[in-house]
Chain A
Amino acid sequence: MTNVIEAEQRSFMTGNEVVAWAALAAGAEFMYGYPITPQNEIMHYWTRLAPKFKRGFLQTEDELSAGFATLGGVMAGRKSFCATAGPGNVLMQEPISMAEMMRIPAVWFIQQRGGPSTATVIYSQQETRLTCLGGNGEGNRLVYSTASHQEVFDYAIKAFNNAWNYRFPTFVLGDGYQAKMREAVTLYDPAQRGIELHGTSRMLGRSSKQLDGQQVRHYRNTFNIEEELYETLMQHIADWDHMAEEVVEWAWEGDEEPDLLLVAHGVVSRAVYAAYEHLKSAGYNVAYFRPITLRPFPVAALQRAAGRCRQLLVAESAYGQLLSLVRDSLYGKTCAPIEGLLRPGLGITEELVVEWAQRLLARVG
């Protein structure tokens, strides 16, 4: 395969453009897509770049088709991916459910948008629950929530590698703000950073040479008895639990016994981190926690961070989707009150977080 990025290169570009470059660098071979803002430019950049590197693209009739065609591409042995948002993410839950049950390592880029079809397209974390736990399954997925363009690039490469390694559908969860804003990013060839790209294998349609001595494969979504489904699912869940230990990621900084622990994910965590630094330098006893994988959620790490805190503030551009993940993780582990700065579909600034934090800190002061 042609080298996509010859030498490390500092660039200034939008998040969607970063996704296209990252997918190329990660060895993605095929994208299937259907237009929806704010992910359109992923397709625009991909379709411009793909022919130069002998990669493919298909614009389908809807997201159901894009999602299922992605599964077909992966099963035929190609690193394939999809990008969508909002109502497209809703439609994609059906193919994602099939990917979970058949262990198809497809990769999705989700650029969250606010509300139903059609609403707003910039600030939103309203697809947190859907991306982590949507579909009619048990949420056997891997979801990275990115906060910067550098992370979009780094985690896109990781997403393809871990998808093919663990064989669960894998997501890079961004939002309209990350998709559309420009910022600096370093693009690199993974090999030059010592990152080995995971190989592919065909699930379907092996050549006659490969067929020799190998059994024909029959993949199915149908189960004859409850126990058969149960056993298959429990095996997937055991595999997922094993993966969870190896891939779970978070960021944590600050006091071990803080008066206030600030929690946020994705782009909102940037405002929250800035607020944390502001409060810290103003002499407050605070800490900051950010889940990077939302699925698996860094439960043990959050329990450690929150175990001796006096109160928590969860900030998100949704009405309690991260908050419920936090509450679930801490159930029975802390008596500290958990407050929510919940602004569904709205941006969250450093100033707003500082204002809320100071009010809460005054309570325990």
Chain B
Amino acid sequence: MFQREFWMEIGESLWRHKLRSALTAFSVFWGMLMLVLLLGSGNGLRRGVEFQFKDDAINSIWIWPGTTSMPWRGLPTGRDMRFRNAEVKHLQRTEPLVDKLTARYHLRGTFAVSRGDQSTTFRVRSVHPDHRFLENTVMLHGRFINPVDLEQTRKVCAIGTEVRDFFFAPPAKGQQDFGPPPIPQPGVWTAADSAAMGRYLTVKGVPYQIVGIFHDQGSRGENQYIYLPISTAQKIEGGTDRVDQIMFTFGNASLAESREVEARLREDFARRLKFDPDDQQAIYISNDLEEFKRFQGLFNGIEAFVWVIGILSLIAGMIGIANIMLITVNERTREIGVRKALGATNGSLVRLILLEAIVLTALSGFMGMALGVGTLWLVDTQVLPPIPEPDSMFMHPGVTPGVVVGALSILIGSGALAGFIPAIKAVRIAPAVAMKSA
């Protein structure tokens, strides 16, 4: 039944009807190509975003004090919560998953940052040394705030590139136009860098020596910050031990673990600050990992969308094949009649028609698949950098083999099915009638 002769007859028939074969082949080829590229790109997008979140210390938790909204053991609602150094120390001591930990304390009131007769309002944060891991701060020169600064309450600061440029490479004196951010090049000294390092900036009347210049690739605003040691800032603000915000990262943790940490924090803080553990407004906890998972949800949504488009293009391909099969069988009615007159059995004719369709769809579909997979591979290995760019949103495009083979099978199956019914009908026509058709 599947002997060589039969396959040669099929090959010959396909070859002799070049245009018809080419049209069918192209529609299947194109459908598969598009499907593979679409699904592959969707995957690349998802992987890119996952990578983004991994790179940016996704496993971080940020905590702010709020105001109680529930009474607790005789204490009224509406109490403002306050964090102190004690909370930071306690977290450091008790939370096993803590990796990098920092607090922030903001200088109170409005104030200017000045140098000589230049003065403007830059943003100031006083922090712990680990802060740079949470904000992805890249030091260009010098160093960030260090533990010794904290211990000795040194009056030092690390400044962003825009602060540097304002004071040490002003476009025109007194003008607050910063221009486009310069491309950061660690180790390369510009005139502004040389001018800035070791000099002093006055914040709220106190001079701080510049010990480091940093660049933050995140947002532009980050380069307008001045960082101070938190202990120094607290001392200058009248020896307060308040902190405004605590944030920390933890090592590789599952979403479940990070939720556990969150729950543990809430209980811990509730006990220490005396509020109802169920009071969601007493303190605010933001869990990056949770946000990441939400993003993942978004990208699952995108993937679903890609799938819908993929399935629609698959259906378009199926309709294309079905249509061509119908036309083909109609066109071949006369041929079917002639072959029957010469002794062809109905079964052999149905097989001929179907296998022609199957061979054609399989070959062209496979070629579309191969080109698609090859293109994705080329993009992955040749076009995209081997080490992904930090802001890359597109990584390792690719498709699951099972999915693509499944799609191809569906195409082949629909081609065969679409040919089957008209083929059965056509071979049942009496040869005399079939031969009369055009």
Partners in one complex: no
Question: A residues bordering B, Cβ < 8 Å?
Answer: none
Question: B residues bordering A, Cβ < 8 Å?
Answer: none
